[in-house]
Amino acid sequence: MSFNIIVLAKQVPDTRNVGKDAMKADGTINRAALPAIYNPEDLNALEQALRLKSKIEGATVHILTMGPARAAEIIRESMYRGADGGYLLSGREFAGSDTLATSYALACAIRRVCKVDLIICGRQAIDGDTAQVGPQVAEKLGLPQITYAEEILDFSDNKITVKRRLERGI
């Protein structure tokens, strides 16, 4: 029996050491001036997916990302860490996509390329901080969602138990 996990991940500009060339005159990020890294929140999602993979016989983990050709680096990095493969959506038509366009493209790709049992996303990307893409993908696919999950505690009998951060507790 197979169990297919998709991790939505994004390559983002490394904002830890921002220099004078980091911003363009129009106030947007000069992505060419900053090295690209794996979005830290998405690494958390990958870690949770790999933990599940180790507990579920026949489970696979694939990465789905959207961006320029260089974004394939995070698929390779994911595979080094234990993922089974990945998908890259790349093309000029995706350049400058907002969260609505991004979530639409990702949802279409999920419908088209793979049977999926679980989608795991990081909370938000460090370059936009909107936290909208994951919930929008779930909505477009008609799937239930759990937001602000910190840890997957148990997954059995098609039920998932997570540790989730709330305003007044966990």
For residue 61, what is the domain's CATH number?
3.40.50.620
Say if 72 falls within a structural domain: yes
d(CA 125, CA 46): 14
Is residue 74 in a domain? yes
Which residues does 155 contact at the CB level (< 8 Å), separation at least 6? 52, 55, 56, 161
Residue pLDDT, tens place only, 52-68: 999 999 999 999 998 88
Q: Is 30 inside any structural domain?
A: no
Q: Would you say residue 92 has pLDDT above 80?
A: yes
Please tell me the pTM assigned to this model: 0.85
Residues 6+ positions from 34 with CB-CB distance below 8 Å: 13, 14, 15, 18, 22
Residue 2 pLDDT greater than 80, yes or no: yes
Domain of residue 70 covers: 3-10+38-164
Summarize the confidence of residues 133-141 as an average pLDDT: 88
Bigger pLDDT: 47 or 103? 47
Output the pLDDT for position 48: 93
Structural domain contains residue 21? no
**Mean pLDDT, all residues of the chain:** 85
The answer to the question of residue 19 being in a domain is no
pLDDT, residue 85, reads: 95
The predicted structure's pLDDT at residue 8? 94
pLDDT band for position 19 (cuts 50, 70, 90): low
The count of domains in the chain is 1
- Any domain includes 24: no
